[in-house]
Structure 1
Amino acid sequence: MLVANDESLQGSIRQQGVTLVDFGAKWCPPCKVLKPILDELAEEKGEAAMFIEIDCDDSPGAASTYGVMSMPTVIVFRDGEAVEKIVGLRPKAVYEGLIAKHS
């Protein structure tokens, strides 16, 4: 999973295809549970989608730009545009479904 910040996020999102951006923080317990799920999906579905991690404490501008109010928040981008937002921890199958839905 690629780690991005306020400055690098826009350039890291795929302009063609699917990108999942995980907005979280190191201290957030649900974020700690989500990270290995997304790492596993990145291994399994790396060709189908790009996975990016943003630490909201280090990159408050990106979180503000995309209206992130709670963590974790996963925003799905399709061809560079935000198309769906999932707030809170969900089972792995939900994130797999997002990739399939927007691919």
Structure 2
Amino acid sequence: MSNAIDVNTSEFETEVLQADKPVIVDFWAEWCGPCRMVGPVLDAIASEHAGSVKVVKVNVDDNQEIAAKYGITSIPAVYLFNDGEVQKQSIGAKPKSALEKEFAPYLGAQ
């Protein structure tokens, strides 16, 4: 079972832009092999850092409006939003250690 929340266009504002903590957004698609590799990594981050960050998934095929708004041209694209703004972005499949290092300031790890 995934620890990440599937979010669509109508939920994006509430779940991501108005969130009370940082949100990692996984822009992905069903047909994308590297996206399927990143999914379990983000599930682990969601589980291990549940108190400090929320992880959501946005299917770019089903939610093209959001993908266009944020200029998603390559997936997997993992963006970190804080206070409604993009703070960090990571393109391509990366191991858990690399993503945790990139997003460390937002994961609550001391």
Q: Which residue of 1 aligns with 2:26?
A: 22
Secondary structure at the aligned position of 2:23 is classed as strand
CA shift, 1:78, in A, is 1.3
Count of aligned positions: 103
Letter in 2 for 1:64: A
Q: Normalising by structure 2, what TM-score?
A: 0.86
Structure 1 stretches of 4+ moved >6 Å: none
Partner of 2:57: 53
C-alpha distance 81-19 of structure 1, shift in aligned 2 (>3 A): same
The answer to which structure has the higher strand fraction is 1
Specify the SS of the correspondent of 1:20: strand
Aligned equivalents of 2:56 and 2:102: distance in 1? 15
Unaligned runs of 5+ in 2: none
Q: 2:86 aligns with which of 78, 82, 87?
A: 82
Task: Please tell me the root mean square deviation across aligned C-alpha atoms, in Å.
Answer: 1.3
Shift of 1:16: 3.1
Checking the alignment, whether the CA contact within 8 Å between 2:52 and 2:106 is kept in structure 1 is no
Counterpart CA distance in 2 for 1:73 and 1:43 is 20
Superposition TM-score, scaled by structure 1 size:
0.92
Identity of aligned residues (%): 30
Find out whether 1:34 has 2:69 as its counterpart. no
Equivalent residue for 1:4? Answer: 7
Shift of 1:6: 1.2
Residue ranges of structure 1 left out of the alignment (5+ in a row): none
> Does the CA contact (< 8 Å) of 2:28 and 2:60 recur in 1?
yes
CA contact (8 A) 1:20 1:75 kept: yes
How far 1:15 sits from its partner (Å)?
3.5
Deviation at 1:99, TM superposition (A): 3.2
Stretch moving more, 4-13 or 23-32: 4-13
